[in-house]
Amino acid sequence: MAIEKQDGKGVAKRFLRLAGGYWSGPDRWRVRLLTMALAALTVCQLTSPLLINLWSERLFDALEQRSMDRFLAMVGLVFGIIAFSIANTLLHLRIKRRLQYEWRQWLTWRLMDGWVRRGRHHQVTYLAGDHDNPDGRIAEDVRIATETAIELGLSLSYCVLLLFTFAGILWRLSGTPTLALGSLKVAVPGYLVYVALLYAAAGTTIATLLGRPLVHTTNRRQSCEADFRFALGRVRENAQTIALLHGEAEERSRLRSLLDGVRTGWTRQTLALSNVTTFSAAYSVLSVAFPILVAAPRYIAGAITLGGLMQTAQAFQQTASALTWPIDNLPSAAQLRASVERILGLHEALERLDADAGKAGRITVDRAGSPVLAFRDLSITEPDGRPVIAPFDAEVGPGERVLISGDPGAAARLLRAVARAWPWGGGRILLPADARIFVLPRRPYLPGGPLRGALSYPAAPETVGESEAVAALARVGLGHLAGRLDESDEAWKQMLPLGEQQRLGFARLLIRRPEWVFLEDATDALDPAGEEEMFRLLARDLPRATVLTIGNRGALEPHHRRHLLLERGTDGAVRVRETVAAGDRVA
């Protein structure tokens, strides 16, 4: 199944449709009140530059008149302005950061709930499209998007307020000079406002052209960073295997190659930023001098006082500053755009899985009233439609032991289809109603935390009693771990050899006591005696359980009475053929 690539249009609309629910959820009134309080504080932030503008006029007039009394009054007044500014800024910061984190938390939960549900975290890895490294998109891109969106929204709102406020002041201070065009004289009221508009428009146009490559290079760099983080995580997770195989050189080479990709992405982003930064640096210096230069002729002509000159220069600077918001925020906007596109890439891939659930080319899994597991005209394909297993029919009754061997890839996909983690194909799978199903893969998942939690998973650690846990460990040959049940360690997967991990999986099986058991190469790391021990234990402790085992070892056959053989044909599809297994040693 191919995923259509979304174009860049409507990114903001699509993101608001995904993330805007934070303001309309169950907690919407509290969120909206916080938002309104933040908006009010943003308006209050405008008070400080406005007061400073009026203060500067009076200060420089006092200096020009050499009035100590007025000067001292201005010194006292500035401390009052500072105190107000500090109080407003601190409250603004705290509410802003609270909204940023709560929005991030809300959006993170929404994406995680969509990702870690019904096997979609597994299924999405097989789809084509731009949704790789979902962990990085959820952890990092959501943080960047929510924090930056609020920052940019507030700064844009502030700049709009600043523009309207100081454009009015600048218009008043500009006066109405007369422009001579030959014999024609034209009055130009508020001419400094027009100069500020032209000045800001020129700067914005140049900065936009120079910064156009920044979005692409920022997106590319973030992808390279995510690939590098993911590779480091894989090395950590597979540290034991790498050490046993002495694969350190290969891993170093792979990591170095990925780090080189990060460097390339960083360099390209640096070049794009350099163009913007070069212009911004020149523009920021010019912004200090230019307002005084354009207002100075009126002071020289005696039309305004020194205070009026400084007030005019400040009003021009604030107006131009508001108009140049795109220049100042282009890098942040590029980073926001890149993160939003990565979030949407993952979200829309997950939505596509849901949208395709009821369409043709999907396997239907039902909880039937019958006690048997039934395959009805079941076929399995790859996500793009290529056949894996040709249509077949079969039934597995309660208490049966069935061995599935042959093509390992097809067998693994069949097991995932039964577990509702592989939806691609056709036909139906009927599961026994209310039957407890337990899947034991080759390498059992060992969550971080206490060993008791590894035995209880996916239930909570406290659901397993002390005596029950100790007995289960003893029965699978792991009695030496009984004293470490409540010992927390994030690295049980690295500490325990694979054979002991597989025994731990059987201990979990004894505790869960399911009615249907699916084993996927769950004993291949054990020696023949250990494998024999585990199957005998399964037969004694769960005599009525139905067991389906995937594996190609000959030693598995005596423990099963039926055998489903998966054979790949010349057309590339696998066909299911049933034989009788040598099951005389099951009991």
Residue 240: the pLDDT is 63
- Average pLDDT, integer, range 57-65: 79
Residue 361: the pLDDT is 65
Residue 417: the pLDDT is 87
- Average pLDDT, integer, range 208-233: 79
Confidence category of residue 188, pLDDT binned at 50, 70, 90 = low
**Lowest mean pLDDT: which of 108-112, 295-299, 487-491?**
487-491
Q: Is the pLDDT of residue 203 over 70?
A: yes
Which residue, of 355, 381, 415, is where some domain finishes? 355
Confidence category of residue 356, pLDDT binned at 50, 70, 90 = low
Residue 34: the pLDDT is 92
Q: What is the pLDDT of residues 442-475, one digit of tens each?
A: 888 887 778 888 888 888 888 888 889 899 999 9
Q: Is the pLDDT of residue 554 over 80?
A: yes
The mean of the pLDDT values for the chain is 82
Shared domain for 477 and 435, answered yes or no, is: yes
Q: Is the pLDDT of residue 37 over 90?
A: yes
The span from the CA of 497 to the CA of 499, in Å, is 5
Please report whether residue 477 resides in a domain: yes
Please report whether residue 279 resides in a domain: yes
Count CB neighbours of 143 within 10 A.
16
Shared domain for 133 and 214, answered yes or no, is: yes
Please report whether residue 585 resides in a domain: no
Please report whether residue 3 resides in a domain: no
Which residue, of 323, 355, 387, is where some domain finishes? 355
Q: Which residues have CB under 8 Å from 528's CB, separation 6+?
A: 555
Confidence category of residue 488, pLDDT binned at 50, 70, 90 = confident
The span from the CA of 350 to the CA of 201, in Å, is 42
Shared domain for 277 and 392, answered yes or no, is: no
Residue 352: the pLDDT is 79
Residue identified by tokens 């206490």 is: 450
Residue 552 sits in a domain of what CATH number? 3.40.50.300
Give percent of the chain above pLDDT 90: 11
Residue 76 sits in a domain of what CATH number? 1.20.1560.10
**Lowest mean pLDDT: which of 156-170, 356-370, 372-386?**
356-370
Residue 586: the pLDDT is 42
Which residue, of 312, 338, 355, is where some domain finishes? 355
Please report whether residue 4 resides in a domain: no
Shared domain for 350 and 370, answered yes or no, is: no
Among 383, 346, 418, which Cα is nearest to 107's? 346
Name the more confident of 245 and 59.
59
Residue 383: the pLDDT is 82
Q: Is the pLDDT of residue 63 over 90?
A: no
- Identify residue 149 by its one-letter amino acid code: A
- Average pLDDT, integer, range 571-584: 73
Shared domain for 231 and 327, answered yes or no, is: yes
- Identify residue 208 by its one-letter amino acid code: T
Q: Is the pLDDT of residue 333 over 60?
A: yes
- Token pair recorded at residue 229: 């983080």
Confidence category of residue 32, pLDDT binned at 50, 70, 90 = very high
- The answer to whether 457 touches 508, Cβ cutoff 8 Å, is yes
Q: Output the pTM of the full model.
A: 0.67
Residue 587: the pLDDT is 38
Shared domain for 31 and 157, answered yes or no, is: yes
The span from the CA of 260 to the CA of 401, in Å, is 52
Total domains present in the chain: 2
Q: Is the pLDDT of residue 494 over 80?
A: no
Q: Which residues have CB under 8 Å from 502's CB, separation 6+?
A: 442, 443, 444, 522, 523, 524, 525, 526, 534
Residue 360: the pLDDT is 57
Name the more confident of 164 and 121.
164
Shared domain for 435 and 471, answered yes or no, is: yes
Shared domain for 463 and 389, answered yes or no, is: yes
Q: Is the pLDDT of residue 357 over 70?
A: no
Shared domain for 377 and 338, answered yes or no, is: no
DSSP codes of every residue in 231-295:
HHHHHHHTHHHHHHTT-HHHHHHHHHHHHHHHHHHHHHHHHHHHHHHHHHHHHHHHHHHHHHHHH
- Average pLDDT, integer, range 152-171: 86
Please report whether residue 5 resides in a domain: no
Shared domain for 292 and 170, answered yes or no, is: yes
Shared domain for 385 and 420, answered yes or no, is: yes
Shared domain for 348 and 429, answered yes or no, is: no
The parent domain of residue 490 ranges over 364-580
The span from the CA of 64 to the CA of 307, in Å, is 8
User: Where do runs of H (alpha helix) occur along 441-512?
Assistant: 451-456, 466-475, 492-495, 498-512
- Average pLDDT, integer, range 249-257: 87
- Average pLDDT, integer, range 428-446: 84
Q: What is the pLDDT of residues 109-155, one digit of tens each?
A: 988 888 877 777 777 776 766 777 788 888 888 999 999 999 999 98
